Structure 1
Amino acid sequence: MKNPHPHRPLLFTLTAALALGCTAFALAAEAIRIRAGTTKDHTDENGVVWLADQGFNGGDTIDRTGIVVANTKTPSIYTAERYSLSGFTRKLPNGKYTVKLHFAETYEGIYGKGERVFSFNVEGREFKDFDVTARAGGVMRAHVETVEVEVKDGQLDITFTHNIENPEINALEIIPAS
């Protein structure tokens, strides 16, 4: 971000904006990363901080610490999940965002394609009959579904629908457009 007042440090400008109640300026500046199914913030293998589980509606959580998930440089974010959820909501400033949904089939009762299929909708973008195992190329493999959206009502909305087995998610990233 370019400092609009070069003679003042950017930190001063940000502090002044916050003091004046310009929270949209601050909120839109950084990505939000949430690791589903956890009670504590988590720092991944690359030093990136993921917030503890928040914003999800319904469902249960499980932590499978110790499992090995392939096809990712950050396997630790896939060891916990929220399953059987109905949705996710997060207040955000209106604008364009990249939303990354992180999935891996880690449930020991799922062995192949077609055994967990669900649908989800991100701000009106529909993903029908989503099969994590098929998308990832097998179980215990990570897959990231990336969608570009525009928030127009001050809130990011994601809904999940059961088809076969429960919907599940391991992590979520919300990245403001630059």
Structure 2
Amino acid sequence: MSLTTPARTLLASLALALVGPALAADAIRIRAGTTQDHTDESGVVWLADQGFSGGDTIDRTGLKVAKTSTPSIYTTERYGMGGFSRALANGKYTVKLHFAETYEGIYGKGERVFSFNVEGKEFKDFDVTARAGAVLTAYVETVEVEVTDGKLDITFTSQIENPEINALEIIPAG
């Protein structure tokens, strides 16, 4: 059975009504590269790695990451992935992508460069080390998007080395 767009909209509205406005508006936080939910140094809960297509994960627990009050979210990562997708209610969101260059084989700028696209907003020639200012340094890219098809999509494209990400936040606007 195929649902028409009005039927899908009605079902989504009913689901949000049943869950309640407080839960529907909660941020989704995902810590890449881990199999268990994680509570960071500020007491915020991050869900285990999910929603990514392809790639591998690594845990580098014990590394010291600068320029963050929550270094633990940067010690795991997913790399080499092709994309990320998450079912969401249509609407506006702030998406925060958390990065830190933690691979011991990369020492400086230009050694890992990739592109990513968040709901049509393109980030070309993205260099984590250049953006953060150094390796082992946190950097957050914040993107305002509008979901119109019931899911948030992010694609990653390798240029030099593999794309990587440490964590992701999806925060409903409003």
Q: Tell me if TM exceeds 0.5.
A: yes
Structure 2: runs of 5+ lacking an equivalent: 1-12
Amino acid at match of 1:150: E
User: Structure 1 residues 20, 60: closer, same or farther in 2, change over 3 A?
Assistant: closer
1:131 corresponds to which letter in structure 2?
Answer: D
Match of 1:85 among 77, 81, 84: 81
Q: Closer, same or farther in 2 for the Cα pair 1:94/1:26, shift >3 Å?
A: farther
Matched, 1:109 2:109: no
Match of 1:150 among 146, 149, 152: 146
The Cα of 1:19 is off from its aligned counterpart by 7.9
Tell me the residue number matched to 1:8.
Answer: none
Cα shift at 1:28: 3.1
Q: Does 1:48 align with 2:33?
A: no
Mapped partners of 2:77, 2:28: distance in 1: 17
Q: Distance in 2 between matches of 1:117 and 1:146?
A: 18
- Structure 2 residue 171 is the aligned partner of structure 1 residue 171: no
Kindly tell me: are residues 47 and 162 of structure 1, through their superposed partners in 2, closer, same or farther at Cα, counting changes over 3 Å? same
* SS of 1:37 mapped into structure 2: coil
Counterparts of 1:142 and 1:124, CA distance in 2: 24
* Partner Cα distance (2:115, 2:18) in 1: 36
Q: Which structure's CA Rg is the greater one?
A: 1
Q: Secondary structure at the match of 1:106?
A: coil
Question: Normalised by the size of structure 1, how large is the TM-score?
Answer: 0.87
Distance 1:29 1:77 in 2: 22
Q: Among the aligned pairs, what percent are the same residue?
A: 81
Q: Report 1:24-43 matches (<5 A).
A: 25=21, 28-43=24-39
Residues 39-92 of structure 1, C-alpha deviations (whole Å, 9 max, x = no match)? 000000000000000001100000000000001010000000000000000000
Shift of 1:18: 7.3
AA in 2 matched with 1:135: R
Q: CA RMSD in A?
A: 1.8
8 Å CA contact 2:93, 2:171 repeated in 1? yes
Task: Decide whether the 8 Å contact of 1:56 with 1:87 is kept in 2.
Answer: yes
Cα offset, 1:29, TM superposition: 1.2
Which residues of structure 1 form unaligned runs of 5+?
1-16
Match of 2:92 among 88, 96, 105: 96
Give the whole-Å Cα distance in 2 for the aligned partners of 1:92 and 1:24: 15
Q: Provide the residue aligned with 1:4 in structure 2.
A: none
